[in-house]
Amino acid sequence: MLTLIGLLLLGLSIFFLWRGCNDNKATAPAENATTGQVAPVPTDDANKDFSSFNITTCEGNEVYACGGEVGDQALKDNILDAVANVFGTSEKCDNIQVDDNNAMTLVGQENLEAALTQIKAVPNASAEFKDGKVIVNAPDATALNNLVSQLQGTLTGVTVEGAQTLDVQSTVDQSVQVAMNALDALDANSTPADLANALNLQVINFEVGSDDIPDENEVVLNKAVEVMKVIPNAALNITGHIDSTGNENQNVTLSQERADAVKEYLVEQGVPSTALTSTGAGSSQPVADNATDQGKFRNRRISFAAP
């Protein structure tokens, strides 16, 4: 009887050991019922920020602006290949940044080339792959509705939306809060790039023709000054940008004045001038179209970068 009990206990031990070992293994890749292809094993992307990608066409159905922030070089290369295959070149996408705080996947990337083909067909269209969805815009309502419908058919399982009517104050207020939250999360282990990314979340909406920093953005810049005292070797390159309306020489001058105003404000609050540079880019580095109010609004901006 003891021998029988011992054998039973041994058998149970082996069963639970086998089960425990199998429970610790990564879940086997599942086969996609639609394509028959094996889906990749999920990564830790869920703990990271979404990767982003934006592209804008011009009148000639060419790339007018292209950028984004992705989690690794492989994803960047995949995006560049898709752009090159559709538009013949990816040279306008040089400012896609790699940051390992972002996911190594992009929403809709499996059908990105097909989506880009549809976007290319619409002059002055734009699309932003960000925050797990795709936001598109076009110069008129008919073109926008058609593009949304086409992309919804191509990017299955992805939310595709048309750009909402521009609400400047609401957009600014939301951006300031998001930037403050990002700055609050920085500490001595953060990098100058982390600081720049946080500051880029705010919208600095200067009055027309003015370089006076709005009060709500001074709050963000004050917080940045505190953070710069904590982050080792904190430094920033500040660039002013304008939409394409008006004379470009005047646009360059105004964009330089706005970048200088931000630099001077930070210096007045105690940041060493040697840690800051300021440049005016005029309208030469767009991130959106200049055919819609939303696009022009996005192009009028101050951008921050780590040296």
Chain segment 165-192, per-residue pLDDT in tens:
889 999 999 999 999 999 999 999 999 9
Domains in the chain: ranges and CATH: 44-162 (3.40.1520.20), 168-305 (3.30.1330.60)
Mean pLDDT (the chain, rounded)? 86
Q: In the chain, helix, strand, coil percent, each to 5?
A: 45, 15, 40
Q: Model confidence at 205, in pLDDT bands (50, 70, 90)?
A: very high
Integer Cα distance of 223 and 188 in angstroms: 14
Closest residue by Cα to residue 238 from 210, 207, 267, 216: 267
Q: Model confidence at 46, in pLDDT bands (50, 70, 90)?
A: low
Each residue of 139-163: pLDDT tens digit?
899 999 999 999 999 999 999 999 9
pLDDT of residue 13: 42
